Structures are given as structure tokens and as C-alpha cells.
């Protein structure tokens, strides 16, 4: 009965001031100077092509916070000292949780020694992660509750954060001094905002409104929506660059930047797209990939657009496309479960990660799919893991949500809501396997990998830090 009720629910809900050097990384947040000092910022360990700067601007990124900066680099931009990963990461270990408050954690953004954790229906919090084993709360942003975040670092040493909110607006904050963030503007996209993506190393924001391409638009070219692109060169006065008519209002957008090519990947609900962003102000569609459910060879049964392309990202050499399928918004059914209500059914694989060979970019080939084994899929419902959806409290479900690559490996650290943090090996994309999982009463929304650590926003536990062993 509960499964049927939950399925009905998801059918209705379809779609840093001072400057520091390497020896200063352990300095207490309250003591960090706002005065510049002439010292060297340590390198980022294993920088990722998913975070590389677009050559059109070359602004600082979390890959290289010194890039383009004239003079000293702000202290908050220095990354935590990296921890050495083993040759093969085989275990997820929990290190720390913010025990200072009971706020929820949703999407997450990391820059330098800062972690910005949207609070979903609670306040957004900024943390000092210069020592990842003991994160320290720096400030709260109370207006409004948010679900996703990204950052823009300018060569003059100023740092801004942008947020997607359930109200549909995109507030822009100056977080140059993360102990005293200031809202400088608010973007009001016509279609609303569900997730935000800043083209790395640029002031350009790609807005994901999560409207897809219209009912039943699973045929390439038949989508009816688009993607708004904003220029935040002046963060106090953002300007729309274009309403990119790609046919699909993305649920999320990721990036892959190399010297040879610059790409964005749109998870467009009924369609996944690869974009050429060599000119990030004027992207073009390279290929449309219809949503994977109903594809010949998969034993799945679709329920409208409830099965959708929710996350799209690639591995380091852009030969494998990973598509996350957020079945039922993480409520029901659980990963690879079967349920039916009102004459409609949903069956596995559902809530999975899907792997495509895109070595021939314009001819992607579905290889395999993954979700946690059923006995790992979810914790028993507990009072502190109930999530309010549309005024109704429901337990954490199981579905692929957001995650990132383990640097240097064909492994992915993935948030699976009630299935916790799952480490997936996709070195054989036709047969991806679970390496390890941390699932101690978790409801994980997003995981970022950085400097040998994993930083996660959790709807039940707030902000968590993990490491791979």
C-alpha cells in the first residue's frame, strides 16, 4: 500500500577575504587575515577536465585558483592540503559531520577551502574546509532556501555564488568574505530555475529550469523549450546573453573542457544532449540522445516523463557518457523496484546510472546500467529521514542523484538518496559494479570529490565529509 501511495505521489510530482600559503591552511577561520600576504597557494591534486577553465575567459577555477589572478590570491581560495589516494580506491569512509545545527543539505559547491551547502528548505551554509576532518561553519544565508549552487571567481579576487531555488529565482551573493556574505542581485528566469551551472572559468551562467521539451517530446528536434544563458561580468546587474533554443529545458548541465574541444552536457528529461560550447555565448547541439527507458534491450517500462535524464556527465577523456535517471524524485519506487498505481506501472531498471560509449560523439551507444543491489537500496524509514514533499512527509527513496568522478580512475562517487554514498566502478561500462557504499541513516543529495575527499549535502544529516581508501 505504501509503495502504491508513494508512486501516486511521484506521478503527481513529475517533473574569503585574506591571502594564505600552504603553511597557513590549518589556521583557524576566525584568525585568517583579510590582508594580502605574498605566499604560494598549493596546487590542486588531480585537476579535472570537468572543472577546467574555458579558454575564452580563463578565470580562476577550483582546478586552478591562481589562474588569471594578478598579485596575491585570496586566502580562502587555497585548497585543503591533498591526501594521497591509494592506487585503487575501494572503500568509502565517513570522516566528519557538521554537528553545529540541524539544517538539511542539498546540492553543494566547493571552491578553495570553502564549501557552500544549500539548505533546501533550511538556510544555506558556508563552511571552512581547510581541514576537511573538522569543517567549521562560517555563515548562513537565509534568503531564500536553495537546492543547488555554483561559484564565479574573478581575477580581481572577488568570489560570487549563485543559487537555484524552489521559488524559481536565482539569487547572486558576494562571498568574497564568506563570514559576511552579501546578496547583490536576483535573476528571475522566465521558466524558473531548478539547477545552475557556471561554465568553468567564465562569468557565464547556464540556467536549468527542468521543464524538458514538452509532453512526449522524445523525438530529436521536437522539443519546444530552451536554455537561458546569463552574463554575470557585473554580478550586481546580470544580463541575459541568449535564450538558447536547444529544444529542451535541462534538468542539469555539466561541462568538459579540454584544449581540443569544449562541451556541455544537458540532461533534458526526455532527451540528453551534447553541446559544442567553443563559443560559450553561442552553443550548438552536437547530438540528441533519446531518454534510455524503452530502449530496445532494456527491461524497463516507462511512466510518461517520470523516468528522465536527470544528470549527464562524462569521464575524464569524454569517451563515456554517464546519465543519471532520477526515478520519482527519490521518493518511490526504490531503485529497480516494481510498483503500479492507477493503471500505470514502473519497473527496473529505474533510478539507475546509464553508461554510453561516446568515443564516436555523434553515434552514442548504450552499454550498461547500474543501481545498488536491492538489499543495499535503502535504510529503514526513520523519523529524522522523513522529507517534506508537497506538504506530505515521506521516507527517503533510492535513485541516482548527483555525484562526481574519483580523480584518475573510472570510478564515480554517487549520491543515491536513501542508499547513501555509492562508489561505482565503470571501467567496463557494460558491467558497472558497486565497489563500496556508506549508508548509515543517510539521504544524500550530492557528492563533490576534491583533494582526496568527498563532500556531501545530505537531507537528513546536513553536511558530511568522506574519504576514499
Please report the pLDDT score of residue 35 as a whole number: 40
**Nearest partner of 148 among 131, 135, 165, 133, judged by Cα:** 165
Please report the pLDDT score of residue 303 as a whole number: 46
Region 21-46: what's the mean pLDDT? 51
Cis peptide before 349, with omega less than 30 degrees from 0?
A: yes
DSSP secondary structure string for all residues of 115-173: EEE--TTS-EEEEE-SSTTS-EEEEEE-SS-EEEEEEEE-TTS-EEEEEEETTS-EEEE
Please report the pLDDT score of residue 31 as a whole number: 46
- Find out whether 465 and 91 touch, Cβ atoms under 8 Å: no
Of residues 208 and 43, more confidence is placed in 208
Alpha-carbon separation of residue 244 from 230, 309, 313, 316, 423 (angstroms) = 11, 19, 20, 26, 35
Cα-Cα-Cα-Cα dihedral sign, residues 212, 217, 220, 225: negative
Please report the pLDDT score of residue 256 as a whole number: 97
Please write the tens of the pLDDT for every residue from 156-184. 999 999 999 988 999 999 999 999 999 99
User: 326 is written with which cell numbers?
Assistant: 532520477
Cβ-based burial of 28 (10 A; exposed 0-12, middle 13-18, buried ≥19): exposed
Alpha-carbon separation of residue 3 from 8, 243, 334, 346 (angstroms) = 9, 40, 9, 11
Please report the pLDDT score of residue 226 as a whole number: 94
Domain count, the chain: 1
Residue 282 pLDDT > 90: yes
Of residues 450 and 377, more confidence is placed in 450
Please report the pLDDT score of residue 364 as a whole number: 94
Please report the pLDDT score of residue 30 as a whole number: 39
Give dist(CA 122, CA 7) in Å, integer.
26
Residue 143 pLDDT > 70: yes
Strand partners, 197: 206
- The C-alpha cell 573510472 sits at 410
Please report the pLDDT score of residue 37 as a whole number: 38
Give dist(CA 159, CA 154) in Å, integer.
6
- The C-alpha cell 589572478 sits at 69
Residue 18 pLDDT > 50: no
Region 355-359: what's the mean pLDDT? 96
Please report the pLDDT score of residue 122 as a whole number: 84
13-17, 89-93, 219-223, 316-320, range with the lowest pLDDT: 13-17
Map residue 184 onto helix, strand or coil. strand
- Find out whether 118 and 166 touch, Cβ atoms under 8 Å: no
User: 399 is written with which cell numbers?
Assistant: 535513485
CATH code of the domain containing 362: 2.130.10.10
Give dist(CA 261, CA 377) in Å, integer.
38
Please write the tens of the pLDDT for every residue from 379-404. 554 445 555 545 566 567 788 999 99
Region 87-115: what's the mean pLDDT? 89
**Domain membership of residue 32 as a residue range:** 2-468
**Nearest partner of 187 among 175, 173, 172, 199, judged by Cα:** 172
Amino acid at each position: 500500500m505504501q509503495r502504491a501511495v508513494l508512486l501516486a505521489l511521484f506521478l503527481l510530482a513529475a517533473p574569503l577575504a585574506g591571502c594564505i600559503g600552504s603553511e597557513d591552511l590549518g589556521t583557524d577561520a576566525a584568525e585568517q587575515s583579510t590582508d594580502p600576504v605574498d605566499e604560494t597557494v598549493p596546487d590542486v591534486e588531480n585537476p579535472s577536465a570537468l572543472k577546467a577553465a574555458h579558454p575564452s575567459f580563463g578565470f580562476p577555477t577550483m582546478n586552478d585558483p591562481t589562474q588569471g589572478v594578478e598579485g596575491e590570491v585570496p586566502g580562502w581560495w587555497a585548497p585543503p592540503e591533498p591526501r594521497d589516494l591509494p592506487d585503487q580506491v575501494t572503500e568509502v569512509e565517513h570522516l566528519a559531520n557538521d554537528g553545529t545545527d540541524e539544517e538539511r543539505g542539498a546540492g553543494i559547491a566547493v571552491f578553495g577551502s570553502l564549501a557552500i551547502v544549500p539548505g533546501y528548505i533550511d538556510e544555506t551554509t558556508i563552511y571552512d574546509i581547510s581541514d576537511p576532518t573538522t569543517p567549521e561553519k562560517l555563515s548562513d544565508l537565509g534568503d531564500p532556501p536553495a537546492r543547488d549552487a555554483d561559484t564565479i571567481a574573478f581575477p580581481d579576487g572577488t568570489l560570487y555564488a549563485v543559487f537555484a531555488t524552489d521559488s524559481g529565482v536565482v539569487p547572486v551573493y558576494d562571498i568574497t568574505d564568506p563570514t559576511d556574505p552579501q546578496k547583490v542581485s536576483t535573476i528571475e528566469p522566465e521558466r524558473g530555475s531548478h539547477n545552475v551551472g557556471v561554465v568553468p572559468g567564465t562569468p557565464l551562467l547556464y540556467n536549468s529550469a527542468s521543464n524538458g521539451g514538452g509532453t512526449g517530446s522524445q523525438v530529436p528536434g521536437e522539443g519546444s523549450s530552451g536554455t537561458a544563458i546569463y552574463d554575470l561580468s557585473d554580478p550586481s546587474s546580470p544580463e541575459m546573453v541568449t535564450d538558447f533554443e536547444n529544444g529542451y529545458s535541462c534538468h542539469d548541465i555539466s561541462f568538459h573542457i579540454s584544449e581540443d574541444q569544449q562541451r556541455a552536457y544537458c540532461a533534458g528529461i526526455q532527451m540528453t544532449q551534447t553541446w559544442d560550447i567553443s563559443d560559450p555565448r553561442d552553443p550548438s547541439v552536437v547530438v540528441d540522445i533519446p531518454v534510455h527507458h524503452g530502449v530496445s534491450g532494456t527491461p524497463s517500462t516507462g511512466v510518461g516523463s517520470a523516468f528522465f535524464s536527470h544528470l549527464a556527465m562524462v569521464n575524464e577523456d569524454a569517451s563515456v557518457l554517464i546519465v543519471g535517471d532520477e526515478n520519482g524524485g527519490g521518493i518511490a519506487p526504490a531503485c529497480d523496484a516494481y510498483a503500479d498505481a492507477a493503471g500505470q506501472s514502473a519497473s527496473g531498471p529505474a533510478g539507475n546510472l546509464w553508461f554510453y560509449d561516446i568515443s564516436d560523439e555523434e553515434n552514442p551507444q548504450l552499454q550498461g546500467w547500474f543501481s545498488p543491489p536491492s538489499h543495499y537500496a535503502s535504510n529503514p524509514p526513520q523519523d529524522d529521514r522523513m522529507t517534506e514533499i508537497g506538504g506530505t512527509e515521506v521516507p527517503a527513496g533510492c535513485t541516482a542523484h548527483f555525484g562526481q568522478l574519483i580523480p584518475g580512475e573510472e570510478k564515480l562517487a554517487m549520491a543515491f538518496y536513501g542508499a547513501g554514498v555509492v562508489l561505482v566502478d565503470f571501467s567496463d561500462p557494460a558491467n558497472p559494479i558497486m565497489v563500496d557504499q556508506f549508508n548509515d541513516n543517510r539521504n544524500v543529495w550530492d557528492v563533490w570529490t576534491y583533494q582526496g575527499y568527498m563532500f556531501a549535502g545530505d537531507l537528513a544529516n546536513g553536511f558530511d565529509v568522506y574519504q576514499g581508501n
